[in-house]
Structure 1
Amino acid sequence: MSEHVSNLLFPVFLQLNQLRTLLVGGGNVALEKLAALLGNSPDAAIKIVAKEISAAVRDFTRGYPSVILHERVFEDADLEGVDVVFVAADNAELNAHIRNESRRRHLLINIADKPDLCDFYLGSVVKKGNLKLGISTNGKSPTIAKRIKEILNEALPEEIDETLTYMGQLRDLLKGDFTDKVRTLNAHTASLLASQEKK
């Protein structure tokens, strides 16, 4: 392994609509997690467990029938039948307990504001239709990640989704192996760029 590699994160996009998610916590931090999860995967099945669930969380989840609220203390049994765990509880002892129990069950876990206890992080996301870009600074600066997101949101035209749709249709029509398809798509992309530059 290279000594120069300092960011060992592996980028991945989860199909949360096909997984079962547990969120422990019902306050402002839980609301932030929910906004990120449901903003990207509106059909995600999420079970929320918290001793107290805020009115803001209740209001936010009202339009999402796949989100179930349980206003009670967390129980180890809540981890059964779950694929991914998010913890947004301001309780160090509970955080450590849920992490240990999740690890024992081989569940991926994210604990808000505790990078050392996380198996994965949530990055900033740029969305333009079918195009989705994830941005991570390896935990060094969420502010920079947010700024890069703003820059990309402004720079990428809304029409990019239409272009992706056409390129997908073209790819489906192409014959030959992967290399042939890539060559043809590259040629079409180059001609498209050339026509734009002439304008």
Structure 2
Amino acid sequence: MKGPFPEIHGGGSLLLAWQVRNRRVLVIGGGEVAAGRIVNVLNADAKVTVVSPRDGLNDEVAYRVEQKQVDFIDRKFEPSDLDGVDMVLCAVDDPVASTQVYKLCQEKRIAANIADVPPECDFYFGSVHRDGPLQIMVSTNGNGPKLANIVRRQIASNLPTNIGAAITRVGLLRRKLRKIAPNIEEGPKRMQMSKVCEQWSLEDLTEMTEGDMEELLGFYKPGTVPSLESLRLGEDGGAYDGPFLI
């Protein structure tokens, strides 16, 4: 018999949007897997250090080093490399060395991912679809990375082509809203802005200009959400009754 609350299904991972901006990430290794890891964390604005003998770098990692997109240490990993590090991504073809890295990270309480060794990972890299600010990750919890790619492609193929642009515009509108109503007690006044995302089409959200945003934040008929067209024609102007929430 089902209880009154959600059932627990163990064996999953806690999927999070981990903010690593300006955090120090150590990548051990310089091959294809390391190259993919580097792209992931650079896209998240992390500060990346790569430690690997130079002759072990593939073309992509060598390019990142040459362009100074990462800091580079030309030698094999040493325990002192963990000093001041917030995350470790190990991608070397040496199980013994990889396990040593993981154990050291455990001792220092540094989150680590040891490529292709799920039991020695504090977190996994899923298959990610990205469109501007939109990120969708599919994880199989280490069971089937190739299958995760197939699922991710299927999801991406069913998304509107302009969803990323629409989210970008909504984000700008939210930032403008926070300037108008920065205080927590103004929260109730914001509630109706959620209806903009519900009632406007993605095309409208994408085409919304900053001028449209100012009009939307400044005037509306209480209890209604003006269409983009009527907003531009000035048909839905009215006494300002507080800002919306997006």
**TM > 0.5 fold call:** yes
Whichever structure has more strand as a proportion of its residues is 1
Per-residue Cα deviation, 1:104-128 (whole angstroms, up to 9, x for no partner): 1110000000000000001111111
Q: Distance in 2 between matches of 1:134 and 1:177?
A: 34
Partner of 1:96: 99
Partner of 1:44: 46
Q: Distance in 1 between matches of 2:203 and 2:85?
A: 50
Partner of 1:145: 148
Alpha carbon RMSD of aligned pairs, Å? 2.7
Conservation of the 8 A alpha-carbon contact between 2:30 and 2:52: yes
2:87 corresponds to which of 73, 84, 87: 84
Partner of 2:28: 24
Conservation of the 8 A alpha-carbon contact between 2:41 and 2:48: no
Stretches of structure 1 lacking an aligned partner (at least 5 in a row): none
Partner of 1:112: 115
Partner of 1:166: 169
Paired residue secondary structure (1:168):
helix
Give structure 1 regions of 4+ aligned residues with deviation exceeding 6 angstroms. Answer: none
Partner of 1:188: 196
Return the TM-score normalized by structure 1.
0.81
| Structure with more contact order per residue of length (Cα contacts < 8 Å, sep ≥ 6) | 1
Partner of 2:14: 10
Q: How does 1:45-64 map onto structure 2 within 5 Å?
A: 45-51=47-53, 52-62=55-65, 64=67
Q: Percent identity?
A: 28
Partner of 2:207: none
Per-residue Cα deviation, 1:64-95 (whole angstroms, up to 9, x for no partner): 42412222121110000111001001112111
Return the TM-score normalized by structure 2.
0.67
Count of aligned pairs: 192
Conservation of the 8 A alpha-carbon contact between 2:27 and 2:51: yes
**2:37 alignment partner AA:** K
Q: Is residue 2:59 matched to residue 1:75?
A: no
Deviates more, 1:78-87 or 1:4-13: 4-13
Stretches of structure 2 lacking an aligned partner (at least 5 in a row): 1-5, 205-246
Change in 2 beyond 3 A, CA 1:166/1:55: closer
Q: Distance in 2 between matches of 1:135 and 1:119?
A: 17
1:34 corresponds to which of 35, 38, 44: 38
Q: Distance in 1 between matches of 2:203 and 2:58?
A: 53
Residue 180 of structure 1: CA displacement? 5.5
Paired residue secondary structure (1:48):
strand
Change in 2 beyond 3 A, CA 1:56/1:134: same
Conservation of the 8 A alpha-carbon contact between 1:44 and 1:67: no
Paired residue secondary structure (1:102):
helix
Partner of 2:125: 122
Residue 62 of structure 1: CA displacement? 4.3
Q: Distance in 2 between matches of 1:153 and 1:94?
A: 37
